[in-house]
Amino acid sequence: MAWFKRKGAGIRTNREGQNETPEGQWIKCPDCKEIINRRALEESFKVCPKCGYHFRLDSLGYFRLLYDEGRFELFDEELLSTDALSFVDRKPYDVRLRESRRKTGLHDAARAAMGDIEGRRVSTAALDFSFIGGSMGSVVGEVVARSIKRAYTEGTPLIVISQSGGARMMEGALSLMQMAKTSAHLTRLAERGLPYVSLMTNPTTGGVTASFAMLGDFNLAEPKALIGFAGPRVIRETMGQDLPEGFQRSEFLQKKGFVDFIVDRRELRKAVAHLLDLVAH
């Protein structure tokens, strides 16, 4: 027997004209469980105002945060990945690319910009995790390489913001080649005596960590960011033992000397400007 029954037909649960909360207006912090107004979260550059948890921020968000008055010029927006290997996993790679472009509005997982940070011209590249996990394919490698070249050609500092699951398996060796290419361009930047600030966000793993992300003159990380080559699950299964508390998080890596500074995103612009002042010629 039912515990309740409807007394009348046609009852509407949402009355016409009733105030409703817009979809997506509120978001729960996965760390402290605080319910946050989405607009307030955007205004704090997606950092929880209660516990400081860093939600993922896209490339344009970082550019607006870093550059004076949020003004910058974008580069290399015309570059598009192609399915050179006719790769198929759960779906063809060319289908995955089209779906990712439609879903994210991005051409690929990296963007490049130039602008001023406290009046100093700076070249920046930033990865977007929303596009196939921020994976590094030929276009991502090319965008980063061109950002580096732009820096040493114009004599400016360089910032690269990493947010990636690693090399893009759908491009095979073409993806792995980007590790060597970006590292070679960074050597030319160093020969010019120009500073490189690398910021590692959550997550920064695989071939990105094994190349440009860990080669900064200053290696910065956001709080609690996962940073490493293989993921903790793979390492645990390979070693057959539990890993140390907080293993591969930015705080752990700072203690081991792999990360120089952990920087709250809200202080990032100030921290970068200070570092560039320290090494200014």
Residue 180: both structure tokens together: 């060597």
DSSP 8-state class, residue 226: B
Question: 138-153: per-residue pLDDT in tens?
Answer: 999 999 999 999 999 9
pLDDT value for 244:
87
Determine contact, residues 117/269, Cβ cutoff 8 Å. yes
Determine contact, residues 143/76, Cβ cutoff 8 Å. yes
Q: How far apart are CA 26 and CA 11, in angstroms?
A: 28
Domain with CATH 3.90.226.10 in the chain: 57-278
Determine contact, residues 212/182, Cβ cutoff 8 Å. yes
Question: 82-112: per-residue pLDDT in tens?
Answer: 999 999 999 999 999 999 999 999 999 999 9
- How many beta carbons lie within 10 A of that of residue 249, not counting itself? 20
State what percent of residues in the chain have pLDDT above 90.
84
Element (H, E) at 63: helix 59-66
pLDDT value for 21:
41
60: pLDDT strictly greater than 50: yes
State what percent of residues in the chain have pLDDT above 70.
91
Q: Is the domain 57-278 a CATH 3.90.226.10 member?
A: yes
pLDDT value for 20:
42
Output the CA–CA distances (angstroms, integers) from residue 195 to 39, 64, 277, in the order listed: 35, 21, 10
